[in-house]
Structure 1
Amino acid sequence: MRVDHLRTQALIVASAAVGLIGWSGNVLSLPVAAFFPAVWSLSRTRWHAAVVSAAYFLAASRGLPQGVANFYSSGIWPGLLLWLIASAGFVIVHAALWTDHADWRKPLRYLIACVVMAIPPFGITGWAHPITAAGVLFPAWGWLGLVMLAAGLALMTTRRWPAAAIAMTGIWLWSAAEWTEASLPASWQGVDLEMGSSLGRDTSLKRQDALIGIVRRQAPGSVVLPESALGFWTPTLARLWQTALAGTKTTVIAGAALIDADGYDNVLVSISAAGSAILYRERMPVPGSMWQPWNSLFGEGGGARAHFFANPAVEVAGSKIAPLICYEQLIVWPVLQSMLHDPGVIVAVGNGWWTVGTSIVDIQRASARAWARLFHKPVIFSFNT
């Protein structure tokens, strides 16, 4: 009995370590997450599988409590509560699909769990998905690389998991030694800002002039500014920027909020001397702080709308791009849906001022880099911290 107790404790510690190291924010550490299926499969009971799953997810998403406290300028308790609620989907899925049968049913059930956690509704909180490591292990393999890693994850749930782990480790070391990324297009530039919580909230003309000055200092081409950079998108703001870009060959892609009576869209806009347009509407805003679907049950509005499967790839300045705004970089289906359209560039933007003291932005960047490497696409980053 004591041996079983110690075994369970060891699995919990191992699962937490896998989540902690795999999702450290270093892209090369992502393959550590591929060891989670082995730990999950070694659980003796469904309850143990639930605890092991919780340990992995909570360790991987450990920055959430502090991030929530920063965002709302509150104590740690609301963040801890949201942290536990967010883990519920992952735990429920992996506990429900766990089986003590050591035959083909265990890998099949794990693959089902992978799919369920990659798409809505459970995929809405499908962070820390081990499949993200495909870009590190199988660079430029595209969809075949995704299939190869899925097969490897399934093997990790069988009695042959030690051999699968050794093979994956070998591939990992080889890939790390040969690490390369697709070259950035010469005409694209991502601008990182350090404007803290004022970005998007300071709507003064002085702030817009400062952003315009930053853009003017870049080389002509497509310049990307972070999520929420422009604040509220209005016709007046559009004219201001269009006038500022008159006589240039610069196209600005920037984050903004488009507000109406029922709520708002978190968007990317494109602006050039020739005109402006709404380029992209975010498919999955941050649940809770932005996307609040329960408001409609009480006849209220005000939250961000989720355009789940809309505009996966858009055209701008003669290029097809796959936009990913902030939270979309942490989950699976937005990037895979975009890759179905074979974009030329991934544009990853965020406003991460609230993540100070956490590794959330580093994890977002690592995730986007892994997906870009899997499909051999250049990725343009633009974050505010």
Structure 2
Amino acid sequence: MRRDYIRSTLLIFASIVIGVVGWSGHVLLLPVALGFPVLWSTSQSRSVAALVSAAYFLAASRGLPQGVAAFYSSNIWPGLLLWLGASMSFVTVHSVLWTKYPNVRPFRYLLAAIVMFIPPFGITGWAHPVTAAGVLFPGWGWCGLGLMTAGLAGLVTRTWPAVAIALIGFWLWSAAIWTDAKLPEGWRGVDLEMGASLGREAGLQRQRDMIATVRGAASDGVRFVVLPESALGFWTPTVARLWTGASGDTDATVIVGAVMVDPKGYDNVLVAIDRRRGRILYRERMPVPGSMWQPWRSWFGENGGARADFFANPVVSIGAGRAAPLICYEQLIVWPVLQSMLHDPDFIIAVGNGWWTDGTSIVPIQRAVTTAWAKLFAKSLVTAFNT
């Protein structure tokens, strides 16, 4: 009995370490998350598997309580409640599908992995180990994703040490030749450090400052400039006229985050602006649950909250290319990027407004994840974040 207790404690502690290290924001450390399936499969009981799952998920998403407290300017308790609540889907899926029968275990784990990257459970499917495919198999595309899936299944069998050795070999090989994802030709992403004022302070002077920032970035043959999520504030006819008028003496197109509001709620969007017009380029498929996306409002006849377009506009046309846009939260879950990759875009656009994540690893994790997906499918990547 004491031996089982010690073993369970070690499994939980190891799961915490894997969650912290694997999701530290360093792209080459993402494969550390592959230790989770091994720990899950070696759990002695369903209750231990649940604790191992909780330890991994909570450790991987450890920045959430602090970030939520900063976002709402409140104490830590709302963030802690959201942190624990969000972990319930991950823990429930992995505890329900755990089994003591080794021959069935690979199929159960694959089912858990699939359930956690498609809605509804995929809505909070953070820290998915399959994300490491981009590090182990850069450029292999769907074949690499298939190998990663097979590897996940192999890690929950009795032959997991051999599978782990093979995956570590791919990891070391990849790390030895690793290069960051390339920037699309003629594109430039602009990171900002405007804190909480971005998107909230939208007066004329702020708009002029943003236009000046774009002018400074649109040089040396740059034809497309990307600004972070919410950088434009509210997208209105007045803002559109101001920006199109200011673009009259430049050939650059600006891709910038904005918000479109109507009586029923709002859309988190990317807008494309050039000298001729401004248009909605992309509507966010999955806003942040809770703080932005609040579907329960409609149950009580209320309006408000961000709309989720789910499987709409997975790719958009811009210039002569096709892009897969990912706004903030969409970078942390699996299905939006895989849906986009089914349409074979030319590159990925990843933007975010992460001022509220100061002191956490959330923005570095977003950068690491988007880099991993871009590397897996051999796509160029342009990013723009506000901190």
Pairwise TM-score range, normalised by the shorter structure: over 0.9
What amino acid sits opposite 1:380 in the alignment?
V
1:72 equivalenced with 2:87 (yes/no): no
**Offset of 1:183 from its aligned partner?**
2.8
Equivalent in the alignment of 2:271: 269
Tell me the TM-score normalized by structure 1.
0.99
Question: Secondary structure of the equivalent of 2:272?
Answer: strand
What do the CA deviations read for 1:313-341 (whole angstroms, capped 9, x no partner)?
A: 00012210000000000000000000011
What do the CA deviations read for 1:130-186 (whole angstroms, capped 9, x no partner)?
A: 000000000000000000011011110011111111111111111000102443223
The list of structure 1 runs, each at least 4 consecutive aligned residues, that deviate by more than 6 angstroms after superposition, is none
Q: 2:303, 2:114 → 1: CA distance? A: 32
Equivalent in the alignment of 1:131: 130
What do the CA deviations read for 1:224-252 (whole angstroms, capped 9, x no partner)?
A: 00000000100110010000000211100
**Offset of 1:259 from its aligned partner?**
0.4
Q: 1:174, 1:316 → 2: CA distance? A: 35
What amino acid sits opposite 2:107 in the alignment?
L
Equivalent in the alignment of 1:198: 197
Q: 1:135, 1:271 → 2: CA distance? A: 32
Equivalent in the alignment of 2:99: 99
Checking the alignment, whether the CA contact within 8 Å between 1:181 and 1:378 is kept in structure 2 is: no
Checking the alignment, whether the CA contact within 8 Å between 1:222 and 1:251 is kept in structure 2 is: yes
Residues 29-108 of structure 1 correspond to what in structure 2 (within 5 A)?
29-103=29-103, 105-108=104-107
Checking the alignment, whether the CA contact within 8 Å between 1:181 and 1:376 is kept in structure 2 is: no
Q: 1:301, 1:33 → 2: CA distance? A: 39
Residues 205-284 of structure 1 correspond to what in structure 2 (within 5 A)?
205-218=204-217, 219=219, 220-284=222-286
Residues 249-328 of structure 1 correspond to what in structure 2 (within 5 A)?
249-328=251-330
Equivalent in the alignment of 2:155: 156
Question: Secondary structure of the equivalent of 1:217?
Answer: helix
Equivalent in the alignment of 1:354: 356
Which deviates the most, 179-188 or 273-282?
A: 179-188
Equivalent in the alignment of 1:339: 341
Residues 168-183 of structure 1 correspond to what in structure 2 (within 5 A)?
168-183=167-182
What do the CA deviations read for 1:250-305 (whole angstroms, capped 9, x no partner)?
A: 10000000000000000000000011110000000000100001111121111000
Question: Secondary structure of the equivalent of 2:250?
Answer: coil
Q: 2:242, 2:34 → 1: CA distance? A: 49
What do the CA deviations read for 1:337-356 (whole angstroms, capped 9, x no partner)?
A: 00011111100000000000
Checking the alignment, whether the CA contact within 8 Å between 2:184 and 2:381 is kept in structure 1 is: no
Q: 1:51, 1:181 → 2: CA distance? A: 36
Checking the alignment, whether the CA contact within 8 Å between 1:117 and 1:123 is kept in structure 2 is: yes
Computed over aligned residues only, the root mean square deviation of the Cα atoms, in angstroms, reads 0.7
Question: Secondary structure of the equivalent of 1:366?
Answer: helix
What do the CA deviations read for 1:115-135 (whole angstroms, capped 9, x no partner)?
A: 000000000000000000000
What is the total number of aligned residue pairs between the two structures? 384
What amino acid sits opposite 2:172 in the alignment?
L
Tell me the TM-score normalized by structure 2.
0.98
In structure 1, runs of 5+ residues without a counterpart are none
Q: 1:73, 1:273 → 2: CA distance? A: 39
Checking the alignment, whether the CA contact within 8 Å between 2:184 and 2:382 is kept in structure 1 is: no
What amino acid sits opposite 1:359 in the alignment?
S
Q: 2:344, 2:240 → 1: CA distance? A: 30
What amino acid sits opposite 2:169 in the alignment?
G
Q: 1:132, 1:67 → 2: CA distance? A: 23
